[in-house]
Homo-oligomer: A and B are copies of this chain.
Amino acid sequence: MWLQRTIAFEPRPRGIHLVTGEVLEALPELGDFGVGLLHLLIQHTSASLTLNENASPEVRRDLEAWLDRAVPEGASHWTHTLEGDDDMPAHVKAALMGPSLTLPLREGRPALGTWQGIYLCEHRDRGGARTVIATATGSPRP
């Protein structure tokens, strides 16, 4: 069994956003899968996907704050500055967090840990709409 769908995310402010619910709502057919894998690719180079803590908004703020310190805007070593001060740091942050996630499917849904949620990380000030390609494969649910 294969499923593939494009998920469109509306523009979000710069920061780390919890999107588990939005991803699952876009993929109701996951309920038909028994054992499988769900792959998500964000088709951009200044936004990223990761898994992390799904309860405290502080964790998302602190992750963003760490990224801003580790990859500072306006540093003298940046040469790719044509698209704005936030652009090149956004590329580095996207590489650090990664453009994709692969999740196990079990009994019709992603087998995440209790505290795990899907983060969409918007690294640009005005990144605009973002596109994610979701691809699932697996055995039919008994």
Residues on A close to B: CB < 8 A?
Answer: 2-4, 34-37, 39, 41-45, 50-53, 56, 58-59, 61-63, 65-66, 69-71, 77-80, 88, 91-92, 94-106, 111-116, 119, 131, 133, 135, 137-139
Report the copy number of this chain in the oligomer: 3
**Given contacts A2-B36, A113-B45, A70 and B69 within 8 Å (CB-CB):** no
Give the residue of B43, B61, B77, B104 whose beta carbon is less than 8 angstroms from that of A79.
B61
Q: List B contacts of A69 (CB < 8 A).
A: 77
Give the residue of B92, B104, B115 whose beta carbon is less than 8 angstroms from that of A63.
B92
Q: List B contacts of A39 (CB < 8 A).
A: 37, 102, 104
A118 to B106, CA, bound (A): 23
When the two chains form their complex, are residues B95 and A80 in contact, meaning their CB atoms are under 8 A apart?
Answer: no
Q: List B contacts of A2 (CB < 8 A).
A: 34-36, 138-139
Q: List B contacts of A65 (CB < 8 A).
A: 77
Q: List B contacts of A34 (CB < 8 A).
A: 2
A138 to B, closest residue via Cβ = B2
**Given contacts A45-B113, A53-B45, A115-B44, A77 and B71 within 8 Å (CB-CB):** no
A113 to B39, CA, bound (A): 15
